Structure 1
Amino acid sequence: MFYIIDQGLRIQTPVETLARDKTVQAIEKPAATSAISKEQEVPIPKQPPKQNPAQPNADKLAHHYQENKQASQQRRQPAVFATQIMTRPAIAMNDQESIYSASLLLKRQRFHHLPIINKNGELIGIVTDRDMMRFSLDNSLADLRSITVSRIMNKKVITAAEETEIRSIADVMCRQNISAMPITDQNRRLIGIVSSTDILRTLVHQAPLELWA
């Protein structure tokens, strides 16, 4: 299950909405048609159905396929969920901290995404090292120690619940061009974060990774 946290609201969002294609396929123009008169109609002679001598073998193969399919489904393992691979506790920062402090924290921890929380511990945004770099370049004379991260954070954040499948998270991350997704509870409290590194690490150490439901 996915949620969008925006301006203090937690909106439940189907994965189909987040992962839908952004391109619209053009509709081809249909070929011109004209009505057929009764004089032009050509009767089609009815032919008796042909007997297929291979039909008994085809029935056996279909039955064998269904048996193998059911056996394969019984051997399937449970899907991997966010709660199993997420980094917890997620390192976050209060929205009243400075951009300078956030930059130092990212460099010290060697990651690229920093969830931002309010005084109640609720997730209200996210900031990346690119956001800080872009702001620094555009405001080279600004004192980063006196500007809070709330000024540059992205207030619209895609989050997921603990029971969300990793396959769905990876799909949304790829389509939305993001490399990390906060994991929150029903009260918008931050409980973890899943990054592309977490997914790759799971593939390396737990391969083959079962991702179906």
Structure 2
Amino acid sequence: MALAIYDHGYRIQTPVRSLFQDRSVESLTETRRSRHIPGSEEHLAEDVDNFFHIDPDARKKQPAVSKDAGKAYEETLQAGKPKPIPILSASKIMTSPVQTITPENNLRQAWLIMEEHEISQLVVVTDENKPLGLITRQEIIDHGTDSTVTIAVTFQKRMIVAAPETELPQIATIFVDYPVTAIPVIDQGDKLQGIITRTDLIRLLINSAHIESWA
């Protein structure tokens, strides 16, 4: 499993796109239009043709290069290239252990836990620690931080989850395409392993200079 959907505590085999509404298509379209500027990938070939005349026979006209000289040139090029950045998995960037709460607790109790740990969401679990959904800071604020309403009637019962081996680009795409604030990490045995938030990704970007140490 790379990414999956949990609904009322059960893994369902339904495409993410069919259950979670994309962010505003119109705003995304405008964003894409704003990228259509000289120098973008879409105009790269055109710009090259405008600024340079490429002679198709130029390669044939180049003087022959000795094997040793060619090898030395390639080694020089390779020495100047930065090392490729490793692709991280969910297990490398997730926060663990995860702060959880049961549906029987109320919103005030959830709020106090969030305040204590300075977090913005809790994973709602059963007494057996099976993940059921998410409750966020904003949802509590909407109902009142002193509310005695139980979490059972307010929490998000449908959530996108990742596996420990899910790669970072897949996770980042979910945050970009869908209005989710956190992605729990759950293994094949339905055990909660960790959680990844937007804040985690921001920290990763800030510390990208040391990203090799995460792998």
Which category of TM-score, normalised to the shorter sequence, fits these structures? 0.5 to 0.7
Report the TM-score, using the length of structure 1 for normalisation.
0.67
Higher helix share: 2
- The equivalent residue for 2:113 is 105
Q: 2:57 pairs with 53, 57, 77, which one?
A: 53
**TM-aligned CA deviation for residue 21 of structure 1:** 7.7
| Alpha carbons of structure 1 residues 153 and 207: separation in structure 2 relative to 1, 3 Å | same
The whole-number CA distance in structure 1 between the counterparts of 2:15 and 2:165 is 14
Would you say 1:83 and 2:91 are equivalent positions? yes
| Alpha carbons of structure 1 residues 15 and 8: separation in structure 2 relative to 1, 3 Å | closer
Q: 1:133 pairs with 132, 141, 146, which one?
A: 141
**TM-aligned CA deviation for residue 173 of structure 1:** 0.9
* RMSD of aligned alpha carbons: 3.5
- The equivalent residue for 2:130 is 122
| Alpha carbons of structure 1 residues 15 and 78: separation in structure 2 relative to 1, 3 Å | farther
The whole-number CA distance in structure 2 between the counterparts of 1:16 and 1:156 is 13
Alpha-carbon deviations, 1:66-124, whole Å to 9, x = none? x89xx799x53431111001100111111111111011111111111111001121111
**TM-aligned CA deviation for residue 203 of structure 1:** 2.2
One-letter amino acid of the structure 2 residue matched with residue 99 of structure 1: L
- The equivalent residue for 1:11 is 12
One-letter amino acid of the structure 2 residue matched with residue 164 of structure 1: T
Q: 1:176 pairs with 168, 175, 178, which one?
A: 178
- The equivalent residue for 1:163 is 165
One-letter amino acid of the structure 1 residue matched with residue 5 of structure 2: I
The whole-number CA distance in structure 2 between the counterparts of 1:148 and 1:78 is 43
The whole-number CA distance in structure 1 between the counterparts of 2:58 and 2:87 is 40
| Alpha carbons of structure 1 residues 13 and 166: separation in structure 2 relative to 1, 3 Å | farther
The whole-number CA distance in structure 1 between the counterparts of 2:98 and 2:110 is 14
SS at match of 1:89: coil
Would you say 1:197 and 2:179 are equivalent positions? no
**TM-aligned CA deviation for residue 158 of structure 1:** 0.7
The whole-number CA distance in structure 1 between the counterparts of 2:144 and 2:96 is 30
SS at match of 2:143: helix
* Structure 2 alignment gaps of length 5 or more: 30-54, 65-69
Q: Is the 8 A contact 2:22 2:178 kept in 1?
A: no
Q: 1:144 pairs with 144, 147, 155, which one?
A: 147
| Alpha carbons of structure 1 residues 56 and 93: separation in structure 2 relative to 1, 3 Å | same
SS at match of 1:207: helix
Alpha-carbon deviations, 1:132-191, whole Å to 9, x = none? 111239xxxxx833x321110010011111111112111111211222111111132211
Determine which structure has more spread, i.e. the larger CA radius of gyration: 1
* Structure 1 alignment gaps of length 5 or more: 26-50, 138-142
| Alpha carbons of structure 1 residues 57 and 107: separation in structure 2 relative to 1, 3 Å | farther
**TM-aligned CA deviation for residue 209 of structure 1:** 4.6
One-letter amino acid of the structure 1 residue matched with residue 206 of structure 2: V
